[in-house]
């Protein structure tokens, strides 16, 4: 089969690799129907995630069809359409028993495209299949559920739930990339009083309005702290969500939050940030960090099925799966292409060449 293989910092290729096989009785093999690229994949390619060994297939977000199951898999059958999430769960460790799958110590957690081969491929081996994939209802398209593989539960759990967003709150989201926009989208489930989006790019702020922000601030031109204090009678935001992952935006969130407010960090940080305890100690501020656990994926899937949540606007560009390299170029140049998520689409299984049919067609001709 073909797959997108990481060959060390700055190097990747779409190339022939061996087909994945069942290795453990709890594994399944899935044909990838739709996949997408994540900001984390770009971090890996920069060399920021050294645990990823050269030779690893990248990708941790996909929808596919089960083609083979191990002998211990009991809840999945060949032909089932499934969402394959960025987080795998062994189902048995103490963290999995508390639904904290992101911290799984039994071989799960974030493993795809990280510690094992990932999902930007024609096929993938899925460990702990029974406890790690989600069956996709027939009436939903791949694109409707694909972003449940990472950005939606990440923004919802680590931003909205950790930030304890409530009715009437002023919620400030710093960073209006895909994760920030998903935070805006899922914060609206709680009827906040006002959602404020802060970014340096006007194009992203325009997208933030489309995703449900009420106020935008370009902090390259305006003093974000002054504007937020003006909007909140001098108090600050009830909730500040960090969705960038650099020290400046984390420190900005700490400056924006009101006494007794909450800061939720969603960004992936590579450098230390300063925690101004000399200002914060007296302000009763709660700060939370986290990796997604995906315990809310079934709830988000239900909201999508009921038409209460529509994640399809994240899909700004589409490429055939075998043009994954071009998709990476478009995604990496988001400042120019305005890409949010690029969808990699495999040829529909029904149309894929089956050797027997090809022979028939030739015979018929
Ligand atoms: Zn991701
Ligand atoms: Zn576990």
Could you tell me the distance, in angstroms and rounded to a whole number, from the CA of residue 99 to the centre of ligand 2? Answer: 9
Closest by CA to 85, choosing from 73, 70, 102, 100, is 102
DSSP 8-state symbol, 365: -
Could you tell me the distance, in angstroms and rounded to a whole number, from the CA of residue 251 to the centre of ligand 1? Answer: 24
pLDDT of residue 135: 97
Could you tell me the distance, in angstroms and rounded to a whole number, from the CA of residue 247 to the centre of ligand 1? Answer: 21
List CB-based neighbours of ion ligand 1 within 5 Å: 38, 40, 150
The span from the CA of 124 to the CA of 63, in Å, is 11
The span from the CA of 169 to the CA of 152, in Å, is 20
Report the chain's C-alpha Rg in angstroms: 21
Please report which confidence band the pLDDT of residue 348 belongs to, taking 50, 70 and 90 as the band edges: confident
The mean pLDDT value for 335-357 works out to: 78
Q: Which ligand has its closest atom nearest to the C-alpha of 38?
A: 1
For residue 164, the SS3 value is coil
The span from the CA of 179 to the CA of 185, in Å, is 10
Could you tell me the distance, in angstroms and rounded to a whole number, from the CA of residue 109 to the centre of ligand 2? Answer: 7
pLDDT above 70 covers what percent of the chain?
Answer: 96
Could you tell me the distance, in angstroms and rounded to a whole number, from the CA of residue 232 to the centre of ligand 1? Answer: 34
pLDDT at 358 over 50: no
Residue 62 token pair = 């996909």
Residue with tokens 């994760």: 179
Could you tell me the distance, in angstroms and rounded to a whole number, from the CA of residue 291 to the centre of ligand 2? Answer: 14
Phi, psi of 30 (to 5 degrees): -125, 135
Q: Which ligand has its closest atom nearest to the C-alpha of 61?
A: 1
Q: Which ligand has its closest atom nearest to the C-alpha of 97?
A: 2
Beta strand ranges found along the chain (DSSP E): 2-6, 12-16, 28-36, 62-69, 81-84, 123-126, 133-135, 170-174, 194-199, 215-218, 237-242, 257-265, 286-288, 315-320, 341-345
Query: pLDDT per residue over 228-262, tens digit each?
Result: 999 999 999 999 999 999 999 999 999 999 999 99
pTM of the model: 0.93
Could you tell me the distance, in angstroms and rounded to a whole number, from the CA of residue 78 to the centre of ligand 2? Answer: 25
Could you tell me the distance, in angstroms and rounded to a whole number, from the CA of residue 61 to the centre of ligand 1? Answer: 6
Residues 291, 110, 2, 15: what is their CA dihedral angle, to the nearest 10 degrees? 80
Which residues, in sequence order, are bridge partners of residue 219? Answer: none
Task: Give the strand pairing for 28-36 and 341-345.
Answer: antiparallel
Phi-psi region of 91 (alpha: psi -120 to 50; beta: other; left: phi over 0): left
pLDDT of residue 355: 43
Q: Which ligand has its closest atom nearest to the C-alpha of 85?
A: 1
For 223, how many CA atoms within 13 A lie in the half-sphere containing its CB? 7
Please report which confidence band the pLDDT of residue 353 belongs to, taking 50, 70 and 90 as the band edges: very low
Query: pLDDT per residue over 12-46, tens digit each?
Result: 999 999 999 999 999 999 999 999 999 999 999 99
Could you tell me the distance, in angstroms and rounded to a whole number, from the CA of residue 110 to the centre of ligand 1? Answer: 10
DSSP 8-state symbol, 149: G
Could you tell me the distance, in angstroms and rounded to a whole number, from the CA of residue 332 to the centre of ligand 1? Answer: 14
Residues 92 and 100 sit within 8 Å (Cβ to Cβ)? no
Which residues, in sequence order, are bridge partners of residue 241? Answer: 173, 264
Q: Is the dihedral of CA 92, 36, 141, 32 positive or negative?
A: negative
Distances (CA, A) of 184 to 160, 216, 346: 9, 12, 30
Please report which confidence band the pLDDT of residue 344 belongs to, taking 50, 70 and 90 as the band edges: very high
pLDDT at 189 over 50: yes
pLDDT of residue 349: 74
Q: Which ligand has its closest atom nearest to the C-alpha of 49?
A: 1
pLDDT at 305 over 70: yes
Mean pLDDT of the chain: 95
Could you tell me the distance, in angstroms and rounded to a whole number, from the CA of residue 62 to the centre of ligand 2? Answer: 21
Longest pairwise C-alpha distance within the chain: 82
């Amino acid at each position: 089969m073909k797959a997108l293989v990481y060959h060390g910092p700055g190097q990747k290729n779409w190339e022939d690799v061996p087909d994945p096989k069942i290795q453990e009785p709890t594994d399944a093999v899935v044909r990838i129907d739709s996949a997408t690229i994540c900001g984390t994949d770009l971090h890996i390619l920069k060399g920021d995630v050294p645990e990823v060994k050269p030779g690893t297939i990248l990708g941790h977000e996909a929808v596919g069809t089960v083609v083979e199951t191990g002998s211990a898999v009991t809840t999945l059958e060949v032909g089932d359409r499934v969402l394959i999430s960025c987080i795998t769960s062994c189902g048995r460790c103490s963290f999995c028993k508390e639904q904290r799958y992101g911290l799984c110590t039994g071989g799960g957690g974030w493993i795809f495209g990280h510690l094992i081969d990932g999902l930007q491929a024609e096929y993938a081996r899925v460990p702990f299949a029974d406890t790690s994939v989600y069956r996709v209802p027939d009436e939903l398209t791949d694109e409707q559920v694909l972003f449940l593989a990472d950005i939606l539960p990440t923004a919802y759990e680590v931003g909205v739930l950790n930030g304890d967003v409530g009715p009437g709150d002023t919620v400030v989201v710093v960073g209006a990339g895909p994760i920030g926009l998903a935070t805006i989208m899922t914060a609206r489930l709680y009827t906040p009083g006002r959602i404020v989006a802060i970014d340096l790019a006007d194009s992203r702020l325009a997208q933030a309005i489309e995703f449900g922000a009420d106020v935008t601030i370009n902090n390259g031109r305006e003093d974000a702290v002054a504007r937020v204090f003006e909007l909140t009678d001098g108090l600050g935001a009830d909730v500040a969500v960090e969705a960038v992952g650099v020290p400046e935006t984390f420190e900005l969130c700490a400056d924006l939050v009101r006494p007794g407010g909450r800061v939720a960090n969603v960004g992936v940080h590579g450098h230390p940030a300063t925690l101004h305890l000399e200002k914060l100690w007296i302000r009763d501020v709660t700060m939370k960090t986290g990796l997604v656990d995906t315990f809310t994926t079934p709830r988000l899937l239900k909201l999508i099925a009921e038409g209460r949540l529509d994640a399809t606007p994240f899909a700004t560009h589409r490429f055939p799966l075998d043009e994954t390299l071009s998709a990476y170029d478009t995604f990496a140049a988001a400042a120019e292409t305005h890409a949010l998520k690029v969808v990699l689409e495999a040829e529909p299984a029904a149309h894929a060449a089956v050797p027997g049919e090809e022979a028939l067609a030739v015979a018929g001709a």
